[in-house]
Amino acid sequence: MGLDYAGGNIGRLFAKMFFPTLLGLLFNALITIVDGVFVGQGVGPEGIAAVNIVAPLYMVVTGCGLMLGIGSSVVASIAIARKDSRIASVNVTQAFVLSAVFVTVLTAVLLLWPESVVRAMGCSDALLPGALDYLLWLVPGIYVLVFECIGMMVIRMDGSPKFAMFCNIIPAVINIALDYYLVFPCGMGVKGAAIATSASIGIGTVMVLAYFLWFSYVVKFRWTARRFFANMWHQVCIGSSAFVTEVAMSVMMLTGNYVFIRCYGDTGVAAFSIACYLFPLIFMMSNAVAQSAQPIISYNFGAGAGERVSAAFRLSVRVALLCGFVAFGAIALFAESIVAMFIDPACAAGVLASKGLPVYAACAVFFSVNISFIGYYQSIERALKAMVFTLVRGVVVLVPMFWFLPRVWPEYGVWGAIPASEAVTLALICSSYAFSLRRSKQRCVFNMKVRRWWRR
């Protein structure tokens, strides 16, 4: 392998993974943000509102890719630690095959019933033409998106974080160029933004597939139908919290869209859309920490090196906390300038977003640490725990917060629902982790007493 997960210094290993991963994922987040900037400037608030209607679907597909990407990379890491590269390659190949079946069915549904899909996602009559334009031209990108997501995770695990970084950066640069050309000189509006996004995802997917065909260290494409369903179920269980994370973000966007429409009309959706464009940036920073720690933790978990697992996890939490404060400070301090990138800050939607973003930005601190904990549980195959906390933060607490806070805090409650949900979840996670540590220590003390008694 390209990196020595077994004996290398934890801090240096993490740094070698983190900086390329962070840079690559930030560029990946730029694809979404640039879409919003160009659509907002080229079409206006109704354009970014239309894109925001379709965005939850994109996130669900990303979640499927991350679910299989995390599941296959964790299984592959543990298999490689146990000197079984064949099992690692078979599991990754089977993940690609399952994703192909899934996206084929999904894209067929989107092409056959596009209006029903966007209506179900809360689209109003005024936003329908733009939402349909964006959805239909995004379908090719959606089809290959899962392959790109799986490949990125496995490439990092395989010891090539820099290659994975370029798989993010090159498509992002192409997306920015195409976005500008298609939205402004060509005047294609949201349709142009969707075409640019689909093209950039396609290029990233080609680079991912080329890696496994010609450049990989350990993992190759190796197909067998043997234990296909058992392997896929195991991967889905491990990575399910990543899928639930994306679904939870979709729930956040859908619920937010409904609440903002109820409170402020289409103007509210446009304001909330800016926050939704920023959330991938927060997510990618946090995810970079979790993804960088995952192969180190999984490999050493498979090798039985508990101290190295703990050291990598503690480091990931510290880095996540730092990233969260940086994101919070940047958004809170420069809220009006950020709004101006998308729409006129003096318009109704711009004023609303400028007032709300500093409150909303507080979610970054709690969210980043939550993702580190969830990533840790995924990496050591505690899939149920990871999924429970993901559901708590993204659905169980979030939806009531969207209902409750606007009633007790009318001016800012709708913006504070997401930070409040993340803060409550972090308190629950920390309590659970402290309880687990205490039980583990008590068990160790009990075992030592039993061994001493037996020796007498």
Q: Is the pLDDT of residue 447 over 70?
A: no
CA–CA separation, 253 vs 156, rounded Å?
Answer: 30
Q: Is the pLDDT of residue 446 over 60?
A: no
Examine the pLDDT at 255 and tell me if it is beyond 90: no
Residue 444 — pLDDT band, cuts 50, 70, 90? low
| Cα 375 to Cα 21, 70, 304, 370, 437, distances in angstroms | 15, 9, 18, 9, 18
pLDDT at residue 369 is higher than 90: yes
In 20-160 the beta strands, taken as DSSP E runs, fall at: none
Q: Comparing 426 with 87, which gets the higher pLDDT?
A: 426
Looking at residue 125, the DSSP 8-state letter turns out to be T
Cβ neighbours for 96, distance < 8 A, ≥ 6 positions apart: 147, 150, 221
Count CB atoms within 10 A of the CB of residue 456. 4
User: Going by C-beta distance under 8 Å and a sequence separation of 6 or more, which residues neighbour residue 128?
Assistant: 115, 118, 119
* Sign, CA torsion 229/152/156/224: positive
Residue 43 three-state SS: coil
* pTM for the whole structure: 0.70
Res. 345: pLDDT tops 50: yes
Q: Dump pLDDT digits (tens) for 258-305.
A: 788 777 777 777 788 888 778 878 888 888 888 888 888 888 887 788
pLDDT of residue 443: 58
Using pLDDT thresholds of 50, 70 and 90, give the confidence band for residue 3: low
Q: What is the dihedral of CA 129, 130, 132, 137, to 10 degrees?
A: 140
Burial class (CB in 10 A: 0-12, 13-18, 19+), 249: buried
User: What separation, in Å, do the N-terminal and C-terminal C-alpha atoms of the chain show?
Assistant: 48
Average pLDDT over residues 377-383: 80
In order, the DSSP letters of 413-433 are HHHHHHHHHHHHHHHHHHHHH
Query: Tens digits of per-residue pLDDT, 173-230?
Result: 888 888 889 888 888 888 888 898 899 889 989 998 888 888 777 777 777 778 888 8
Rounded Cα gap, residues 355 and 297, in angstroms: 41
Closest CA to 21 of 205, 416, 414, 295: 295
* 291: its two tokens: 């993804």
Distance CA 120, CA 107 (A): 16
Domain boundaries, the chain: 10-455
pLDDT category of residue 322 using cuts at 50, 70 and 90: very high
- Of all residues in the chain, what percent carry a pLDDT higher than 90? 12
Cα–Cα distances (Å) from 227 to 87, 114, 177, 233, in that order, read 11, 36, 44, 10
pLDDT at 84 > cutoff 80: no
The mean pLDDT value for 392-409 works out to 84
22-76: pLDDT as tens digits: 877 777 677 677 777 787 777 777 777 777 777 777 777 887 888 888 888 888 8
pLDDT of residue 315: 92
The residue-averaged pLDDT of 120-137 equals: 78
Look up tokens 């943000």; give the residue. Answer: 33
| Mean of per-residue pLDDT scores for the chain | 82
Residues of the chain with pLDDT > 70: what percent?
94
